[in-house]
Amino acid sequence: MAYLDIAPMLAAMREQPEAFSLSRGWLKHHPSNHRFKVQADGFVVVDAECGCAALPVRTEQGLQLHEAMKAWRAEYWVPHEINQHFARHFRPPRFWRRWLRKVTVLLTQDRDNSALAGYTQACSGSGQVVAPQRDDRPPSARNEKPDLPPTDPSANIRRKPEEATV
């Protein structure tokens, strides 16, 4: 019986690991567009548009391919995937994420930097009516007494309007 000799593919996996990729259990050789499904028992399924898929692969070479694929995955594919995943963290953000970030900044920025605050400051020297400035200092720094609750216990009792004292 005639078999497919995959020795050139085994050499290519060692010499050009970047020409292969792994997706859903299929090993793909990009230049030839051939796909291989390799099982641990040495059975290999070849998926190709040309006549390469017509011949079966010998079990011995299937086992060699399985071992070569394990080595390729450990030495090339896993580090490649980790590096790609790491690089994705540093890509420029997409349009919608940039837009959302800008809108969030606009909505949460300090209101004193708004256009209205700039307009009121510009009008303050011209004699026009100007909105009062907000004082963000604590009451102790403003020399104001803080609003304290009443200390009289009778102040918490609800009274009817006619019983209220003047």
pLDDT for the residue numbered 165:
56
Which stretches of the chain drop beneath a pLDDT of 70?
Answer: 110-135, 138-166
61 Rama sector, left if φ>0, alpha if ψ -120 to 50, beta otherwise: alpha
pLDDT for the residue numbered 114:
58
pLDDT for the residue numbered 145:
59
d(CA 41, CA 43): 6
- Indicate the Cα dihedral angle 73, 15, 44, 6, nearest 10°: -170
Cβ-proximal residues to 104 (8 Å cutoff; 6+ apart), any chain: none
Query: pLDDT digit string (tens) for 66-96?
Result: 999 999 999 999 999 999 999 998 888 888 8
- pTM over 0.75? The answer is no
Place of tokens 């090339």: 76
Cβ-proximal residues to 142 (8 Å cutoff; 6+ apart), any chain: 135
- Residues 5, 60 contacting (CB under 8 angstroms): no
Backbone angles phi, psi at 152, to 5 degrees: -75, 120
pLDDT for the residue numbered 65:
92
> 80-112: string of b/e by CB count within 10 Å (b at 16+)?
eeeeeeeeeeeeeeeeeeeeeeeeeeeeeeeee
Q: What totals of helices (H) and strands (E) does the chain contain, helices first?
A: 5, 4
